[in-house]
């Protein structure tokens, strides 16, 4: 086994932390164990994957926490590192549509032509990988994706392996769009982080599953539903598919202790049965502090809550919240897009949530309500639905109503 000591050198760590000093937060009582990989060292990253190590790499959506998808122990280490329940399946990343490690239905090439490389994950039956049981969380079907990112593709090509990778964040935390975000979640673990720039799209891939003549969207991401509909509608091979999308907000049934116990015991074969639409938990993409969506709709107002604007961080869209909420002079503030550009808002969403939780004294995040308050300027933008979904989950569905300097819980 090769030992790449330079990845862990004090100098390298120091220059990484200095480079991202505004974004990094570490507990001084914890030791740093992760390694930093530079862009001219992707051959090392590929070797590490072969050695069964965890490598965090950039994609156009978010950073992934990668491991060799043929190595069961390496895959288990992903679950352990993330504290993620084994019932939540992993996406496998490849660089060649002719080698996707799953069964290959006739229509696959047409999908590949339209959406790959890109933020499109397709869930297909797999009989080709011995690790299918754990990758697929017992469902027998694996999500496959070819990412549209130079570094990711080069890594996949150099490694010439299928690479299993969930988003590189701790379970339920905000997905990472920068190497610094990955560092904050995993610095005390043996994870190797490729230091590349910010992810282009800012939110995850869209996950679909073909079932007969239906195409089920299991998770909305940076490929919009309308784009999929439009493109498959124009394809003779795919136009028979009907798109099905249903927002599912499931509560996490297992407690953090349960998950940890399960992972410590790590008995893959005896784990709890898998979910039908895994990963659609309500609490997802969440900041470490309480988050609320600010509604101006009066339909279901509950009790008034004390909420100090000085201890709040506002994440706005355009300047909607700034224009409506009084006394924001001492409130930390960011707009996802000053110009009502939904794509820009998508790009900035996770980054802003990560920024918000680092603000000193911040007790809560107040988020613009894309659901009921959507400005006429973006009403028809196809990306709004995805942003709305992520915001709803990051606030765990909690809404508050604002009127005359007072906040009320919505029921
Ligand atoms: O953009 C992305 O998709 C990123 C980058 C790294 O590729 N990956 C990512 O993975 O977001 P993850 O594990 O954080 O979210 C993938 C979700 C799962 O939670 C699950 O809902 C769904 O995709 N999924 C994956 N494999 C599945 C399968 N076999 N069956 C059903 N759903 C699956
Ligand atoms: Mg994730």
Residues 89 and 278 sit within 8 Å (Cβ to Cβ): yes
CA 215 to centroid of ligand 1, rounded, Å: 16
Ligand 1, atom 24, lies closest to the CA of 89
Residue 273 binned pLDDT confidence (cut-offs 50, 70, 90): very low
What pLDDT score was predicted for residue 265?
57
CA distance readout (Å), 65 to 31, 152, 287, 302, 311: 20, 12, 19, 41, 33
The two tokens of residue 323 are 């224009």
Report the percent of the chain where pLDDT is more than 70: 89
What pLDDT score was predicted for residue 372?
66
What pLDDT score was predicted for residue 300?
77
Tell me the H-state helices in 204-270: 225-233, 256-265
Q: For 23-75, write each residue's pLDDT tens digit.
A: 999 999 999 999 999 999 999 999 999 999 999 999 999 999 999 999 999 99
Q: For 364-375, write each residue's pLDDT tens digit.
A: 999 999 876 566
What pLDDT score was predicted for residue 411?
79
What pLDDT score was predicted for residue 278?
54
Atom of ligand 1 nearest to the CA of 135: 29
Q: How many CB atoms lie within 10 A of CB 76?
A: 17
Distance in angstroms (rounded) separating the CA atoms of residues 79 and 348:
27
Q: For 174-183, write each residue's pLDDT tens digit.
A: 999 999 999 9
What pLDDT score was predicted for residue 268?
41
Query: Mean pLDDT, the chain, as a whole number?
Result: 91
**Which residues have CB under 6 Å of ligand 1?**
59, 61-62, 64, 88-91, 119, 121, 123, 136, 139, 141-143, 145, 147, 165-167, 204-205, 207, 218-219, 278-280
Q: What is the mean pLDDT of residues 233-237?
A: 97
In this predicted model, which residue has the larger pLDDT, 87 or 296?
87
Is the pLDDT reported for residue 168 higher than 80? yes
- Give the neighbor-by-neighbor strand order of the sheet with 163-164: 35-37, 191-194, 54-57, 64-68, 163-164, 91-93, 141-145, 120-125, 206-211, 214-219, 242-245
Return the minimum-mean-pLDDT range out of 124-138, 278-292, 345-359.
Answer: 278-292
Q: For 89-105, write each residue's pLDDT tens digit.
A: 999 999 999 999 998 99
Return the minimum-mean-pLDDT range out of 158-167, 169-178, 391-400.
Answer: 391-400
Q: Which helix (H) or strand (E) holds 292?
A: strand 290-295
What pLDDT score was predicted for residue 250?
65
CA 128 to centroid of ligand 1, rounded, Å: 19
Report the percent of the chain where pLDDT is more than 90: 81
């Amino acid at each position: 086994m090769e030992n790449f000591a330079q990845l862990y050198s004090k100098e390298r760590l120091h220059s990484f932390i200095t480079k991202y000093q505004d974004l990094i937060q570490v507990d001084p009582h914890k030791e740093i164990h992760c390694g930093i990989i530079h862009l001219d060292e992707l051959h090392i990253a590929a070797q590490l994957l072969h050695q069964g190590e965890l490598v965090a790499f950039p994609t156009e959506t978010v950073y992934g926490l990668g491991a060799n998808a043929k190595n069961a122990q390496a895959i288990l280490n992903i679950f352990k590192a993330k504290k993620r329940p084994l019932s939540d399946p992993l996406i496998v990343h490849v660089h060649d549509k002719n080698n996707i490690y799953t069964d290959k239905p006739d229509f696959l090439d047409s999908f590949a032509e339209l959406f790959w490389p890109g933020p499109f994950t397709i869930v297909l039956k797999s009989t080709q990988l011995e690790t299918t049981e754990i990758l697929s969380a017992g469902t027998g079907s694996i999500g496959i994706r070819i990412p549209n990112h130079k570094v990711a593709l080069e890594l996949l090509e150099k490694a010439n392996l299928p690479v299993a990778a969930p988003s590189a964040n701790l379970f339920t935390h905000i997905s990472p769009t920068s190497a610094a975000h990955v560092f904050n979640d995993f610095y005390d673990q043996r994870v190797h982080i490729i230091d590349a720039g910010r992810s282009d799209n800012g939110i995850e891939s869209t996950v679909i599953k073909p079932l007969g003549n239906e195409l089920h969207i299991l998770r909305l991401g940076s490929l919009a539903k309308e784009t999929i509909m439009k493109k498959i509608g124009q394809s003779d091979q795919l136009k028979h598919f009907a798109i099905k999308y249903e927002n599912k907000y499931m509560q996490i049934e297992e407690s953090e202790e349960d998950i940890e116990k399960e992972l410590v015991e790590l008995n893959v074969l005896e784990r709890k049965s898998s979910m039908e639409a895994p990963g659609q938990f309500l609490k997802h993409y969440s900041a470490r502090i309480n988050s609320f969506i600010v509604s101006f709709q009066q339909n279901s107002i509950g009790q008034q809550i004390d909420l100090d604007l000085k201890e709040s961080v506002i994440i706005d869209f355009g300047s909607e919240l700034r224009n409506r909420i009084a006394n924001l002079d001492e409130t930390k503030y960011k707009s996802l897009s000053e110009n009502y550009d939904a794509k820009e808002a998508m790009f900035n969403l996770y980054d802003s949530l990560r920024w918000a939780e680092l603000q000193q004294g911040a007790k809560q995040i107040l988020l613009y309500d894309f659901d009921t308050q959507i400005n006429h300027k973006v009403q028809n933008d196809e990306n709004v639905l995805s942003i709305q979904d992520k915001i709803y989950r990051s606030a765990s569905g909690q809404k508050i109503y604002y009127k005359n300097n007072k906040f009320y819980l919505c029921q």
